[in-house]
Amino acid sequence: MAIKQSEPTRQQATAKTHYGAEAKSVDYARKMDAQDPLKHLREQFIIPSVTDISRGELSTNDDNAEKSIYFCGNSLGLQPKAVREYVNGQLSTWSTIAVKGHFQTLESSPIKPWQHMAQSCAEASAPIVGALPSEVAIMNSLTVNLHFLLASFYRPTAKRNKIIMDWKAFPSDHYAIETQIQWHGYDPKEAMVLVAPDDDFTISTQKILDTIDEHAADAALFLLPGIQYYSGQYFDIKTITAHARSKGMMVGWDLAHAAGNVPVKLHDWDVDFACWCTYKYMNGGPGSIAGIFVHERHSKIRVTEDAETGTSLSFPLRLAGWYGHELKTRFNMDNQFVPIDGAGGWQVSNPSAIDLASLAGALSVFNFTSIEALREKSLNLTSYAEFLFDDILATLSASDERQDKNPVFRIITPLDPEARGAQLCVLLLRPGLLDVVMKGLGDAGMIVDKRQPDVVRIAPVPLYNTFEEVYRFARKFEEALVGFLS
């Protein structure tokens, strides 16, 4: 579907933060950093140096080396220093007590016994996604978890078999939904309802609600990303969930770009299920073990007593595996599946202890802050970045009157701070400009993500990025644009 390239009609913007002329200086950015109550968190991370990135060799970890500007936490978060300690603790347990590590740990080790590590990580993740500890499980990887959850919550009928989804879903989500529909014998062309923007790249909440109304009689499930990866739009999860559930739909959210980024309240907002990866804003490492949420109303085990057949259990259908079995009888090996009462009952296989140790180390950083405090800083970082980008456009316009009618770039992420996370997506409006910009930034030791053919995704992460980095990035971005236009 072609999206109109007109002036964007986004979510209604709240009042912008007003910056004076002094905000255009590096001294202002440094003052903001000096006043930042979360500045100590940066010390918890290993920031790659410009030299190490350019050489592509084993890090020297030279504290005195110039640090790169890393605005790519929306693809892969930086390594917390605690991860090495936790992974080494796991390796030491394995080498010292071997199989006994399943149920005991070394006195000096930061990790839990292996059989308890997944639950420990789930408990640490729960406040980040606004869930009860029992509603979270740490298992598998994102798309695998999406398949497992759809197996339970997508139960189509001849009358209701459609899935309402994002017009530009991340390909892996698209494939999962498409094949689940086919698995049940339905045609994706008929059963996939794609909600698309009317104009530009933002989908209004009202359009989503109208689409839900339109398919109230034939949609079985609603599934959207919490934050859209391409545009950076943060959807109104609370309002949308309530409306979809009122129409009898199951409601799920892919929080790959939302978990650890923005405050969500999955339990209070009555979401049926959700899934997320942990290698972006939760910094668990590349391909790290993922998380799921299942609302407590879906995981209750019912016990029935019958004089003839004895005690029987009933529970929501899922693709079961032995690791979802309650811990106290997991090793009975009697083939009588008794699931954990909660999201843990959706676990299937014995998870990698190394993966869990890495995630546990990453989650330990969140003990030093809260998702609400991170959100406040994130709003300030993106607001400052937006101000600087607007100033670049004004500067270019003053030097070239053609820029007024045909600007060289624009931000396609919603102007409303409440409708975006720690990411601004910049659409470049000149053919060939993306490669020039990416080369200029890369040569300066600045790492950002691109999406072909012409979008740069800039993610200043509040855990480890600074206002001075935002300032320096904007100046280098402007330099690349001027060089291209001259």
Q: Which residues are annotated as a binding site?
A: 142-143, 170-173, 254, 257, 279, 322, 350
The residue written with tokens 């405050």 in the block is: 263
Structure tokens at 165: 């989804």
Structure tokens at 250: 């199951």
137 touches 343 (CB < 8 A): yes
Nearest to 437 by CA among 75, 6, 447: 447
411 touches 373 (CB < 8 A): no
Residue 423: its H or E element? none
How many whole angstroms separate alpha carbon 132 and alpha carbon 300? 14
The residue written with tokens 């009689």 in the block is: 217
* Beta-carbon count within 10 A of 142 CB: 24
Helix (H, G, I), strand (E, B) or coil at 194: strand
Residue 405's Cα: distance from chain center in Å?
35
Structure tokens at 298: 């879906």
Q: Which residues on adjacent β-strands are paired with residue 410?
A: 427
* Beta-carbon count within 10 A of 119 CB: 21
Residue 39 contacts by C-beta under 8 Å, 6 or more apart in sequence? 33, 466
Rg of the chain on CA atoms, in Å: 24
Structure tokens at 403: 């820029």
Nearest to 46 by CA among 473, 463, 482, 474: 463
Nearest to 76 by CA among 437, 358, 275: 358
Residue 253: its H or E element? strand 250-254
153 touches 219 (CB < 8 A): no
User: How far does the chain reach from its first CA to its final CA, in angstroms?
Assistant: 34
Length of the chain: 486
How many whole angstroms separate alpha carbon 10 and alpha carbon 8? 6
Binding site feature residues for pyridoxal 5'-phosphate: 142-143, 170-173, 254, 257, 279, 322, 350
Helix (H, G, I), strand (E, B) or coil at 47: coil
